[in-house]
Amino acid sequence: MTRLRRFAVYGLVGWGFDIAYTTLHDAARGRPLRFRSSPWNVPVYGLAQPLFEPVHDRLRDRPWPVRAGVYGVGILAVEYASGWVLRRVRGRAPWDYTDARWHVHGLIRPDYFPLWAAVGLAAERLHDALTAGRRE
């Protein structure tokens, strides 16, 4: 599968994850179900292709806690950077964590580190499936 197609797959899978997560989050808090997410998140999640895949290839032989830690930090960094850029370009980021107890400039939530670490470990399986064991 080409890099561009993998970029699209990561983007759409991530967007679907985002919609599911926010919907379940709202439901757990008794809020009305609204399938909400921004289409701007698709290219942000698509960045997994050029950024995550090479890291996964370099770390694949490391123990899972090391890989999870790198993924958690990396995803938070990409979330911050992409949110910062989108805020500059659009006037706001597609997400806003300013109402959260812990946030950094409203762009990331450090308490989401375990979630992002787990997402990174799950993305290893997606990467392997998309490349069918071939390394580029």
Give the pLDDT of the chain (136 residues) as one tens digit per residue: 899 999 999 999 999 999 999 899 888 888 887 777 899 999 999 999 999 999 999 999 999 999 999 999 999 999 999 999 999 999 999 999 999 999 999 999 999 999 999 999 999 999 999 998 565 5
pTM: 0.90
State the amino acid at position 4 in one-letter form: L
Instruction: Give the whole-angstrom CA distance, residue 64 versus residue 71.
Output: 10
Element (H, E) at 133: none
pLDDT score of 33:
77
Residue 40 CB coordination number (10 Å): 17
